[in-house]
Amino acid sequence: MAGRKGTLMSVRKDIKVLDATIRDGGLCNNFNFSDDFIRALYKMNVKCGTDYMEFGYKASRNMFKESEFGKWKFCKEEDLRAIVGDNPSDMKIAVMADVGRCDYKTDFLPKSESVIDMVRVACYIHQIPAAVEMIEYFHELGYETSCNIMAISQAGSDQLSQALEMLAATNVDVIYLVDSYGSLYPENACELAKLYLAAVEGTGKQIGFHAHNNQNLAFANTVETMTYGVSFLDATVQGMGRGAGNCALELLLGFLKNPKYNLYYVLEFIERYMLALKAQGVVWGYDVQYMLTGLLNRHPREAIDFTAKQRTDYSEFYKALLEND
Amino acid sequence: MAGRKGTLMSVRKDIKVLDATIRDGGLCNNFNFSDDFIRALYKMNVKCGTDYMEFGYKASRNMFKESEFGKWKFCKEEDLRAIVGDNPSDMKIAVMADVGRCDYKTDFLPKSESVIDMVRVACYIHQIPAAVEMIEYFHELGYETSCNIMAISQAGSDQLSQALEMLAATNVDVIYLVDSYGSLYPENACELAKLYLAAVEGTGKQIGFHAHNNQNLAFANTVETMTYGVSFLDATVQGMGRGAGNCALELLLGFLKNPKYNLYYVLEFIERYMLALKAQGVVWGYDVQYMLTGLLNRHPREAIDFTAKQRTDYSEFYKALLEND
């Protein structure tokens, strides 16, 4: 458990790459992607060997107005099928369901009637009991499930041990370590990963890592935790995601040694689709303001606001962050 | 030796931060910095607790025309003194001397007459014998010295062991692991660092790390190798440096726990000086083309050319790199 699993030359068959471009990237543009973009992304992921593609959220249409978001905030079955048909590929389809922000008892079909393969349940640590209920519900429906415990850098270690113990006793397939604030360094990310791995030892469950790039460590933390046994790896094309973004899919596929992964198609997608998105004014990625919230282990909302206002007074921003701590 | 030295809360008194903004950043603009910029950078470094500031190269004026470069390619004593006077600060002044590209026997004063404290001798591994000669010469003149072995990711392990053995027998103060191509991952960077550390054990010499950010790992590799005992850490403001650039000084000072380091002044400098530099069109930093040369363990020259031509056909670039390997 303590040592690294394999070497830089190993092909680890347990590794699963999950592309979260629409879901985390959608937070940058209110999920307003063209169908053309989504279709091309789906094709790209199939060609480059991605194991799971997350299409977005299954958010409550009672809590969120459909007119205010693109369709991938809601991931209706017919919208998914308009892109993937019956998904005649080896790649699995995932959606995210936030605890407290979805109508899971009405909005999910049984797996036998859905093109969705995995439901990822996202929660804060105090919501674990609610997450457990949802996980068992989705499991009963026939879905693979994951539990993505967010903002883990602010959880106490007692809380975390309890949460992991509770989850290890459920039917969940994957438990995710989520560095929501991008505040983890490789050293403590790996220590946390070892806790997660120990908690599921012998259960057959896998551990995932979802990185944010506030301190430019998203890729590093992903590959470092991986070497200790983390096997579900989230990434997004060009790291597209809220604020500083995520681990870049192109970096991750470049790193992985399994010949099933093919970097070429990601590069092609970047030049054809991502550059246009950036040219339209969609903004994400590492910048000084995100480094500061990451360093202070804080939600990036103030940095996102700083970015939106096109401010560059980093020193004033830092002073203000230190004051309102 | 095998374990980490200290924790994320430790203050390691052996750590020395070296700002290489002018030297590595100068490769982006032919060293054409204004005196105002250099003076402000010097003041910033003194205020933020930087231990060493590298002003540039001592390049041969026989080999390079003074009219084609800014003055920091040559670092004449009078130019240094015009900025720092007698350097009435605790911060030390460094310059770099490349093996085979400087006139070291004529261009260096004895330390007692110079404001320079440290000469960093840069070489490829086959130039170690020449580097040793220069190191002993500078040591005799009274300078601190380092040996920066470049492009280490392409050196054979036998070669490296011999080089380290030769250097361990000299008067050099610091031996640097230089990831010129930005191709190292935290895992192999740390393994290399352990080799360097083992080679100097008991000699009182220190090991340094100079990162490049091709795979967005410059900061990660710097802090990870540090935890195993590397103590001279190179950084540049906003990572300014050739191609994908270096480890960002602001990330590094944010990470380090020694209260002598003060991030605030770096932020102030970025907003006042670095943004202007970028607005003038000076280009550096992580981008897909650099990731590709890093991944393939190649000199970034083709990626620099791709950048200069404002190309974005990443997939064609990748194909071409694979072909001419």
Q: Give A322→chain B minimum CA distance, Å.
A: 11
Residue B11: inside a domain, yes or no?
A: no
Among B201, B234, B247, CA closest to B5: B201
> Is B119 in contact with B23 (CB distance < 8 Å)?
no
Judgement on whether residues A128 and A268 belong to the same structural domain of the protein: yes
Cβ-defined contact of B315 to A185 (cutoff 8 Å): no
pLDDT of residue A1: 45
Q: Give A2→chain B minimum CA distance, Å.
A: 12
DSSP A38-77: HHHHHHHHHHHT-SEEEEEE---TTTS-GGGS-GGGT--H
Judgement on whether residues B89 and B136 belong to the same structural domain of the protein: yes
Residue B325 clears pLDDT 80, i.e. is over it: no
Judgement on whether residues A119 and A267 belong to the same structural domain of the protein: yes
- Interface mutation target, options A222, A251, A268, A313, chain B, most CBs of B under 10 Å: A251
pLDDT of residue A155: 87
**DSSP H/E element including A234:** strand A232-235
Judgement on whether residues B168 and B236 belong to the same structural domain of the protein: yes
> Which residue positions in chain A have pLDDT lower than 50?
1
Residue B1 clears pLDDT 50, i.e. is over it: no
* Residues with Cβ within 8 Å of residue A219, at least 6 apart in sequence: A211, A213, A247, A248, A251, A252, A255, B215, B216, B217, B220
Judgement on whether residues B188 and B65 belong to the same structural domain of the protein: yes
How far apart are the C-alpha atoms of B239 and B247, rounded to whole Å? 5
Judgement on whether residues B242 and B316 belong to the same structural domain of the protein: no
Residue B223 clears pLDDT 50, i.e. is over it: yes
For the stretch B155-164, pLDDT in tens is 888 999 999 9
Tally of structural domains, chain A: 2
Cβ-defined contact of B254 to A187 (cutoff 8 Å): no
Give the domain range for residue B68: 16-279
pLDDT of residue A255: 97
Residue B8: inside a domain, yes or no?
A: no
Interface of A with B (CB under 8 A): 4, 8, 185-188, 215-221, 223-224, 227, 238, 248, 250-251, 254-255, 263-264, 267-268, 270-271, 275, 288, 291-292, 295, 312-315, 317-319
Residue B9: inside a domain, yes or no?
A: no
Rounded to the nearest 5°, which phi and psi values hold at A174? -135, 135
Residue B14 clears pLDDT 90, i.e. is over it: yes
Cβ-defined contact of B313 to A215 (cutoff 8 Å): no
Residue A10: inside a domain, yes or no?
A: no
Q: Which residues in chain B touch residue A322, judged by CB atoms under 8 angstroms apart?
A: none
Secondary structure of chain B in the HEC alphabet? CCCCCCCCCCCCCCCEEEECHHHHHHHHHCCCCCHHHHHHHHHHHHHHCCCEEEEEECCCCCCCCHHHCCHHHCCCHHHHHHHHCCCCCCCEEEEEEECCCCCHHHHCCCHHHCCCCEEEEEECHHHHHHHHHHHHHHHHHCCEEEEEECCHHHCCHHHHHHHHHHHHCCCCCEEEEECCCCCCCHHHHHHHHHHHHHHHCCCCCEEEEECCCCCCCHHHHHHHHHHCCCCEEEEEHHHCCCCCCCCEHHHHHHHCCCCCCCCHHHHHHHHHHHHHHHHCCCCCCCCHHHHHHHHCCCCCHHHHHHHHCCCCCHHHHHHHHHHCC
Residue B274 clears pLDDT 70, i.e. is over it: yes
Judgement on whether residues B185 and B302 belong to the same structural domain of the protein: no
Judgement on whether residues B232 and B296 belong to the same structural domain of the protein: no
- Interface mutation target, options B271, B277, B293, B312, chain A, most CBs of A under 10 Å: B271
> Is B182 in contact with B147 (CB distance < 8 Å)?
no
**ipTM score over 0.85, yes or no:** yes
Cβ-defined contact of A8 to B216 (cutoff 8 Å): no
Q: Closest partner residue to B254 among A219, A220, A295, by Cβ?
A: A295
Q: Which residues in chain B touch residue A227, judged by CB atoms under 8 angstroms apart?
A: 187
Q: Which residues in chain B touch residue A271, judged by CB atoms under 8 angstroms apart?
A: 312-315
Residue B207: inside a domain, yes or no?
A: yes
Among B61, B69, B56, CA closest to B29: B69
Interface of B with A (CB under 8 A): 4, 8, 185-188, 215-221, 223-224, 227, 238, 248, 250-251, 254-255, 263-264, 267-268, 270-271, 275, 288, 291-292, 295, 312-315, 317-319
Q: How many CB atoms lie within 10 A of CB A243?
A: 29
Residue A92: inside a domain, yes or no?
A: yes
> Is B228 in contact with B194 (CB distance < 8 Å)?
yes
Do you know the residue count of chain B? 325
Residue B21: inside a domain, yes or no?
A: yes
User: How deeply is B2 buried, as exposed, middle or buried, from its count of CB atoms within 10 A (0-12, 13-18, 19+)?
Assistant: exposed
Judgement on whether residues B159 and B298 belong to the same structural domain of the protein: no
Judgement on whether residues A258 and A296 belong to the same structural domain of the protein: no
Minimum Cα–Cα distance from B188: chain A residue: A8
pLDDT of residue A171: 98
Identify the CATH number of the domain in which residue A254 sits: 3.20.20.70
Cβ-defined contact of A223 to B315 (cutoff 8 Å): no
Residue B6: inside a domain, yes or no?
A: no
Q: What is the mean pLDDT of residues B47-53?
A: 98
Judgement on whether residues B144 and B175 belong to the same structural domain of the protein: yes
Judgement on whether residues B252 and B315 belong to the same structural domain of the protein: no
Cβ-defined contact of B263 to A318 (cutoff 8 Å): yes
